[in-house]
Chain A
């Protein structure tokens, strides 16, 4: 039962991480590309970490919850990175416009 859950989360996590990176390559504009990694990849890694949590908890050496820490950390930092990257892009674009004008 635990093995099925672990496998399910692994497959979902891997698929979402891949979709996020496909978005990174495929979408035509930087601000659109921001959407893929900040959402799909974060949840993809989250899925794999949850799978790891199930796997190591089922080995009989007590509950293993420390993967939650990485998940929480990623979920709090991903929006900050996205915000900073968007600001950087806006800033660089503004500079270019000023130079041309």
Chain B
């Protein structure tokens, strides 16, 4: 099983992407997509760094839901900030200490930060312990760090158990 299907989740994603690309569920495309989804991971498994196992699929789903909600809320906030008077903004760089040890989890966290309220991740220190974030309008620096840690970092830590 592990030998012929090294990454079941990746295979599933590839299959779904193929079906979306073909925009059909005809039998031929189901079969062709299935073959590609089985073959591509087998061919490329040796190039890929070790991916973490997802321990709690349900928590991942809840995390994505929270993220989607935050993205929509973030857009309203950012739109108001952009259209409002610019001199009232207080932009700043913030250093976020990271507790995650897994590279993939860090990537997920930087994505979440870039997609949500007025924050963009700008640089990761070379020892992977701090993340430099630019904030469009900062009022409470400690509160923002606590919010990011509680809302995104904690669930990611539980999902990937690292």
Residues of A within 8 A of B (CB): 16, 19-20, 22-23, 26-29, 31-32, 34-36, 38-40, 42-43, 62, 64-66, 68-69, 75-76, 78-79, 82-83, 86-87, 90
Stretch with Cβ within 8 A of A (4 or more), from B36-44, B48-56, B70-78: B70-78
Bound-state Cα–Cα, A38 to B121, Å? 11
**B136 CB within 8 Å of chain A:** yes
Q: Which of A20, A68, A82, A87 contacts B20 (CB 8 A)?
A: A68
Given A79-B110, A86-B123, CB of A69 within 8 Å of CB of B118: no
Q: Is the interface of B mostly helix, strand, loop or mixed?
A: helix
Complex interface: chain B residues within 8 A of A42 (CB): 115
Task: Determine if B83 and A34 form an interchain contact, defined as CB atoms under 8 angstroms apart.
Answer: no
Q: Which of A22, A68, A69, A90 contacts B123 (CB 8 A)?
A: A90
What's the count of A-B pairs with C-beta under 8 Å? 91
Q: Is the interface of A mostly helix, strand, loop or mixed?
A: helix
- Would you give the shortest CB distance from B162 to chain A, in whole angstroms? 21
4 residue pairs, one from A and one from B, having the closest CB atoms: A79-B114, A86-B122, A23-B82, A66-B23
Task: Determine if B86 and A27 form an interchain contact, defined as CB atoms under 8 angstroms apart.
Answer: yes
